[in-house]
Amino acid sequence: MPSIFSRIIAGEIPGAFVFQDPLWVAFLDHAPVAPGHLLLVPRAEAQYLADLPADTKATLGDYLGRSIAAIKRATGATAVNVLVNDGPEAGQLVPHAHLHLIPRTADDDLQFHLPGKAKGIDLAAVAARVRAQWR
């Protein structure tokens, strides 16, 4: 069954689109954290970013940079949080890869910093395990 994002992209559900192209779309979040909260969504339906087609992944950086710049200009934000919940254990609610772009200002009272709870871990050992899996 298509994700809610695929249904928005197909026009079955309304969306406040900022742009659409053959690989990516961007539309405003229906439950925004801040005015201008944007979702950058690939047309390809894959739950995880790593599973997206190569051509889609290759264009992500350009669209991310352009979206951040547009949000800042449109909202007057001085910063933007880019959030990816890559899987349900990370808080992903829609099983379709996407990025949240949340405009920020100095006085917005939003908190996105996570407290460090993994103190005392062997950083070199973890880095070695991740490096061994790098492809």
Residue 28, amino acid: L
Q: What is the DSSP string of 54-66?
A: HHHHHHHHHHHHH
User: Which residues form the catalytic set?
Assistant: 98
C-beta separation of 45 from 79 below 8 A: no
